[in-house]
Structure formats: C-alpha cells, structure tokens
Amino acid sequence: MRGIVGEAITPDLVERLGTAATAWAGRGRVLVGRDTRGSGPLLEEAFARGIAAAGGEAVLAGVLPTPAVALMAQDLGAVVTASHNPPEYNGIKLFDREGRKLVDDDEVRIEALMDEPAPAAAARPGSVEHLDGAADGYVEHVVDRFGSDLSGLRIAVDCANGSYSGIAPDVFERLGAEVTAVANAPDGENINAGCGATALGLLQETVRAGSHDLGVAFDGDGDRLLAVDERGDIVDGDQIVAVLALAHRVDQVAVTVMTNLGFHRLMAEHDVTVHVTDVGDRYVLEAMRREGCVLGGEQSGHIVWLRDHVTGDGLAAALLLCGALDGRTLSQAVSAMPVFPQVKANVRASSRVVPARVLDEAARLNDELAGTGRVLVRPSGTEPVIRVLAEAETAEEAESLCASIARLIEEAPR
C-alpha cells in the first residue's frame, strides 16, 4: 500500500489495514518500523491502533530499515514506508513471521478483511509497547554475517536521508573504512530528495571530488543498493549481482526480465544457471526459495543474499560488494560483465493489454536478433502505459528497435 499522504493514504485507511493484517496473522505480536518521513509517526500510531483493536500487541521499533523489520518480524512485521518514493508519499510493507513478503492470495484475504464492518471489541485487549535499541541487534547481525576488514578503503555513503542515516556510515567505519557520509541528516521532508539510489548525482560528485575508492547509495527504507566506481561511473544492480556471483562462485542466480543481456552472457561463460522472473523483488525471492538460490537481484538495486538473511538488504549487499573487491578497484571488478545498451520507453495506452500485433512484431524481432539483442514489451502494473525495453550491441540499434515498437503501440486502435 503506497500513495500520497492525505490522498490515497490516510490514518483511517492505515488503521483499518492494521486491524485486518493482525486478524489475518492470528493476532499475536506485530513488530512495526518506519522510515524517516514526517508522516511516519502519525501513520505508525494509526497502524498501532488497528493492531490493538484486533487484540494484537503492537511493538513499535521507531525508525528501522525495512530489512531489519523482515529479520526481526514476530507474528507479523510491518514497515511504514514508501521506499524510494518522494517525501510526500508513504505506505505500508508487510512481512509474515518468516520475514517473507506476502503472496498475492494473502494480500487478497487481508483486503477482504478491510472491507468487513469494524470488529467488536476483542475478547483480549490489545496493547502498544515501544522497543528501544532495535537497530543495535540488526547492526550486530549484519556486521557479524556480512562484514569484513575494510581497512584502507575510502567509501562515500549516501543514506538518502532515510533509515540508514546514523547506521550505515558507522558500520563502515567500524570495519575500518574511511567514510564520507552524505544525505545523512533526515528532517522528515528530505528523504530520497535529490539523493540516494534514485538520484546518484550527489554520490558521483562526492566520489570524484574526494578521490574515493567507491560510493554506495541506499534508498529511503534501505532495501536497495546502487554504487559508483572510483571514477564516479554508475554500477547498477545487474553488475553488483555479477560481481557477487563470480566472487562467491554460485551455481545459480535469480534475476528479472529487465536484466542486461551482458549478465546472461557472463553467467553462461561460468556455467551459472540463471532463473528469470517478472519485475519485482518479491518474484525474485519466490524463485530463489523455489530453486534453492543464495543470490538474486534486480537492476534497480534490490540485491538478495539468502544465506543468513530473509530479504533484500542494502547494507548487507554493500558489505558483500566491498568484500568481493579483493584488492581490485570496483571498475576492474565490474569489467568482467559486458553491458549491452538498453533503451526504454513508456507509451501511454488506453488499455494495459498489449496489442497482438505488437507482441507478434516483438517475437519476430527477437527471432531475427537471435541473442544479439532483444525487445521486451509489458504492461505497467501501476500506470496506463505499456513499457518497452530494447537492447542491442549498439545504442543506435537499441534506439531503433525501441522506436519501432513504440510506434506500433501508438498506432494501435484505442
């Protein structure tokens, strides 16, 4: 659940969700964290009221990264966050007692409970308590399981003015790195604002100005990681997963349909099986658990390592990336993966159904390209647009492929 506060997201709606989710979980204890948005305390309070109304116990942990809530979830885990969205947005993420995002059927059941009349007073009164120092246990877990000696590394850390502010820079320093922290002073209105994993310009400038070895950037709730190398060039999620796959010699990975063809070529050279999913870290996680993968991720920066964790974790991924350098620069580490130029377009459409003519043409082009490029066409899950991705060995060819498919969509009857 995510939207602009005061429009799509209101305290009443969040309270109803708290009641429904608690009833779905069988009541019990619900750990609640939040990011640094100004609307967070109000919505946290509303969600806690909903938990108590259903007879559950709300355990309020305050500002806490999303992966920490997943790790520490009790009968249910909830995060008041809008992730990488601007400050005026907020929402709720839910995790079951195993720290897993809910499947579609579970979400449907909770939505049905939200539509039911307000429940009578619970037989056993609910409660609200505050948990101090929740971040400390999370930090110890991440340092112990994912940390390594980072002495000699100069790292720029962009905290997106979010949940890792005051946490991530200290972790890197504790492990021996020399740290320059930016976007590390949240004020309720600056989360993801011109900083973090969705706006890497600040990090690039910081790395170039300070002769850093690399820079890492998180999003507001801490479940994404992107990086820049020592030259300030962007390193995306595909490249990070590639570095980790080779460093840890995994035999299989899970990625999405957006993953660069260069990644697939590199994995084939090293006999690594690649499982491809729909876009969304939830689908990557489902495939990883189904296939027994340790490593998976998305181009957008969701990096998942399931040994000693349950979900994507930006800080854990950053520590793994630093540990995988093994004396190399980041640019040297990522150079093993060829990067095919990708061109994307969002075409407005009256329907989210992709016209058959467009699908046929995409299939024809993919047969013709025979692995030297590709065209991907898919409807947006959230907007009235059809998304087009074209990939080829040259930018010019990718642009031509993307434009031809976009034109077909625009010409389709409305």
Distance, CA of 281 to CA of 310 (rounded, Å) = 12
Query: Active site residue: 83, 163, 165, 300, which one?
Result: 83
Distance, CA of 75 to CA of 278 (rounded, Å) = 28
Closest-CA residue to 50 (of 29, 10, 22, 78)? 22
Give alpha helix (H) positions in 73-182.
104-114, 134-146, 168-174
Distance, CA of 56 to CA of 189 (rounded, Å) = 31
Distance, CA of 157 to CA of 174 (rounded, Å) = 14
Q: Residues 259, 234: contact at Cβ < 8 Å? A: no
Annotation says 83 is catalytic: yes
Which tokens is 327 given?
């004396």
Question: Residue 138 to residues 19, 101, 142, 377: CA-CA distances in angstroms?
Answer: 27, 19, 6, 40
Amino acid at residue number 406: A
Closest-CA residue to 52 (of 134, 131, 129)? 129
3-state DSSP assignment of residue 300: coil
Residues across the chain: 414
Residues with a known catalytic role: 83
